[in-house]
A and B are shown apart, each in its own frame.
Chain A
Amino acid sequence: MNGIHDLGGMHGIGPIAPEKEEPVFHADWERRMFGLFIAAFAGGHYNVDEFRHAIERMAPAEYLTASYYEHWLHSLETLLVEKGVLKKEELDAKIAALAKEGS
């Protein structure tokens, strides 16, 4: 698809700024996301191409402002809902409950 992920040749996005001494994970939830990706892959819920495509299908503005592992989380949620492993309502309810807990 001709999506926002296909950034090659676009102007105005600024230089790439590699982080010095970049850690493998910036937060514990990123480590967990990596593990979830492997576990759900191992569970036979998607292949790597489906996983990439679900990232490409993110809303363009959201894609540009979300971090690397947020892309992964978005893809995981999209695919697990599409494949019937999770219900959208279950996911929304859990997110709402966690948001309430955190506020």
Chain B
Amino acid sequence: MSLLTPDSVPTVVTTGASTRRASQAVTPRFKLGDRVVARNLNPIGHTRLPRYVRGKHGVIHHDHGLFVFPDTSAHGEGDKPQHVYSVRFESRELWGAIADPRASLYIDLWEDYLERA
């Protein structure tokens, strides 16, 4: 693991040591507008897939580019860089009939969290 150098301190402090992998190129599995479903994953280890989106349907809104995959990175299992998408879920899809029919939620999800719907 690389050591922090004095000249990189300001960047690390301001960005929180971003895990973006801008220099790599990996073909995205999804494109804007694709309908997807969040996988029902329940790993014992680390994940950034919240429970309330698992099994829910949404639409790809934006592709943020490549980022280190937290689920493997947290356990010494490699960076596995992959596309992170902003996915739009209707509030009614997440919370049922009590939700505002006009409201929706945008959440950033790694490609491995998603399947084509």
Task: Give the size category of B's interface with A.
Answer: 20 to 34
Q: Are A56 and B46 in contact, CB atoms less than 8 angstroms apart? A: yes
Q: Are A52 and B74 in contact, CB atoms less than 8 angstroms apart? A: yes
Q: Which of B9, B16, B47, B51 contacts A48 (CB 8 A)?
A: B16
- For the complex, give the distance between the alpha carbons of A38 and B3 in Å: 11
Q: How many inter-chain contacts with C-beta < 8 Å in the A-B complex?
A: 54
Main secondary structure of the interface of B (DSSP, over half): loop
Question: Which residue of chain A has its CB nearest to the CB of B74?
Answer: A49
Q: Mark B32-66, 1 if CB is under 8 A from A, else 0.
A: 00000000001111110011100000000000000
Q: Are B16 and A8 in contact, CB atoms less than 8 angstroms apart? A: no
Which residues in B have their C-beta under 8 angstroms from that of A1?
Answer: 43-47
Give 7 new A-B contacts, CB below 8 A, not counting A50-B46, A52-B46. Answer: A9-B51, A9-B94, A41-B12, A42-B3, A44-B2, A53-B45, A53-B75
Residues in B lying within 8 Å of A, measured CB to CB: 1-4, 9, 12-13, 16-17, 19, 42-47, 50-52, 68, 70, 73-75, 94-95
